[in-house]
């Protein structure tokens, strides 16, 4: 015979105690909070898009922070690029414009880039940090030791902790390998990244400067071993560099892999700053680090730039806005990473968000080069 269930006896609730009359005005209990500007906690409207098949939404334009405190990862340029005050002005403008993705790396400016971002975040507070998507990378040398570079387990885990310290945060939303490391088995690198994901130090992992076949191999290893897998790729893509169209963008379409484009203005070439038979502007990439762009110094390219300028004038937009709109018009491109030197440069780039390019017009622009 089943044991009977005995319910507790219900008792009547005690009568409420009479409310006492207050002996002081109600206003005395009110706390007056300091006024906060809306722009300090709520970003402006911006177009956002899911990164690949993840649930993470990123702004179509991301702020590249590679020139904060240096010019990329090259030690020869540490201390150059934007000062901290200039970086703060760019970060403020990006936030006001609704750009939620900040792209940096452990070696940018010898760590200064992440430090500038971290100190800026400290002034903004948790409400802003929770809305931002921070991205960083690992691979390039950060010291003289052979174990202070590459994608070994030792270096990856050490650099994640170092980036967290510089950024002043408990987690990094997006973490990429900056390029492949042929000396380290991909299983070792993925194992280290997977551990960091499980510990909550990073949220998603990706790969930059990598070929489609390496992405396929890496994702296969992840699936086979139950490890976190590369959810997106970050590659160069612009009207002057369409290499990604051969294999990487079709791969992303087939596999649901996200794609963010760096150098969408080809190192400034698509802004109109470089002219045929004219000296390059002082402080430009062609005067500081010209090697990646020397092949563009060609009459055919200059003719294409002239035609692009004419197309931009016809639309009443800047050259850079039209060039960025072309990048964003590709169905597989989730975001373009811009590296403006001033807030005015950033404002010019932001105009790309409002430029709609039908497929036939995008094809016509591509045919210029």
pLDDT tens track for 260-319: 999 999 999 999 999 888 888 887 877 877 888 889 999 999 999 999 999 999 999 999
**Token pair belonging to 33:** 């909070």
Cα 11 to Cα 131: distance, rounded to the nearest angstrom: 49
The answer to whether 177 and 222 have CB atoms below 8 angstroms apart is no
Residue extents of the structural domains in the chain: 40-266+329-355
Q: pLDDT tens digit string along 192-214? A: 999 999 999 999 999 999 999 99
Find the mean pLDDT for residues 13-17. 41
Q: Quick one: how far is CA 345 from the chain centroid?
A: 18
Percentage of the chain with pLDDT > 90?
79
Find the mean pLDDT for residues 246-263. 98
Which residues, 6 or more positions from 148, have their beta carbon under 8 angstroms from its beta carbon? 141, 142, 155
Beta pairing class for 48-50 and 57-59: antiparallel
- Where helices occur in 170-298 by DSSP H, the ranges are 186-198, 212-225, 248-255, 285-288
Packing angle between helix 319-328 and helix 343-350, nearest 10 degrees?
50
50 beta partners: 57
Cα 155 to Cα 10: distance, rounded to the nearest angstrom: 64
CATH topology of domain 40-266+329-355: TIM Barrel (3.20.20)
Neighbours of 203 (CB within 10 A): 18
Which residues, 6 or more positions from 315, have their beta carbon under 8 angstroms from its beta carbon? 322, 355
Q: Which residues are catalytic?
A: 108
Question: 162 exposed, middle or buried (CB, 10 Å; 0-12, 13-18, 19+)?
Answer: middle
**Token pair belonging to 34:** 């300091």
**Token pair belonging to 61:** 């334009």
pLDDT band at 125 (very low <50, low <70, confident <90, very high): very high
Find the mean pLDDT for residues 131-144. 97
Q: pLDDT tens digit string along 66-116? A: 999 998 888 888 888 999 999 999 999 999 999 999 999 999 999 999 999
> What is residue 196's three-state secondary structure?
helix
Cα 69 to Cα 107: distance, rounded to the nearest angstrom: 11
The answer to whether 195 and 221 have CB atoms below 8 angstroms apart is no
Cα 66 to Cα 111: distance, rounded to the nearest angstrom: 10
Cα 335 to Cα 237: distance, rounded to the nearest angstrom: 11
Q: Which of 55, 42, 165 is nearest to 97 (CA)?
A: 42
Look at 282 and 224; give whichever has higher pLDDT.
Answer: 224
Cα 253 to Cα 214: distance, rounded to the nearest angstrom: 16
């Amino acid at each position: 015979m089943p044991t009977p269930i005995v319910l507790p006896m219900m008792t009547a609730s005690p009568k409420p105690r009479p409310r006492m009359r207050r002996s002081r005005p109600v206003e005395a209990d009110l706390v007056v909070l300091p006024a906060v500007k809306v722009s300090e906690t709520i970003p402006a409207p911006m177009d956002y898009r899911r990164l690949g098949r993840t649930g993470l939404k990123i702004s179509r334009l991301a702020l590249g922070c590679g020139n904060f405190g240096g010019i990329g990862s090259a030690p020869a340029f540490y201390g150059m690029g934007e000062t901290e005050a200039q970086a703060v002005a760019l970060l403020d403008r990006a936030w006001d414009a609704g750009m939620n993705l900040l792209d940096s790396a452990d070696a940018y400016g010898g760590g200064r880039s992440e430090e500038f971002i971290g100190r800026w975040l400290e002034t903004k507070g948790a409400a802003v940090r929770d809305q931002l998507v921070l991205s960083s990378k690992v691979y390039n040398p950060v010291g003289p030791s052979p174990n202070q570079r590459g994608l070994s387990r030792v270096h990856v885990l050490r650099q994640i902790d170092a980036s967290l310290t510089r950024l002043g945060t408990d987690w990094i939303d997006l973490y990429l390998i900056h390029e492949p490391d042929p000396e380290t088995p991909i299983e070792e690198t993925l194992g280290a990244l997977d551990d960091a994901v499980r510990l909550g130090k990073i949220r998603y992992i990706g790969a930059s400067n990598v070929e489609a076949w390496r992405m396929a191999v890496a994702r296969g290893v992840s699936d086979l071993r139950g490890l976190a897998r590369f959810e997106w790729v970050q590659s160069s893509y612009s009207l002057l560099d369409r290499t990604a169209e051969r294999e990487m963008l079709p791969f992303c379409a087939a596999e649901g892999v996200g794609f963010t484009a760096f150098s969408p203005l080809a190192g400034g070439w698509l802004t109109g700053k470089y002219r045929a038979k004219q000296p390059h502007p002082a402080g430009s990439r062609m005067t500081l680090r010209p090697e990646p762009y020397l092949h563009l110094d060609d009459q055919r390219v200059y003719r294409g730039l002239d035609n692009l300028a004419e197309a931009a004038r016809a639309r009443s937009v800047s050259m850079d806005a039209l060039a960025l709109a072309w990048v964003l018009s590709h169905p597989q491109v989730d975001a373009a990473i811009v590296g403006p030197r001033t807030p005015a440069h950033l404002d010019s780039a932001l105009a790309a968000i409002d430029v709609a390019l039908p497929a036939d017009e995008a094809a016509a622009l591509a045919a210029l080069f």
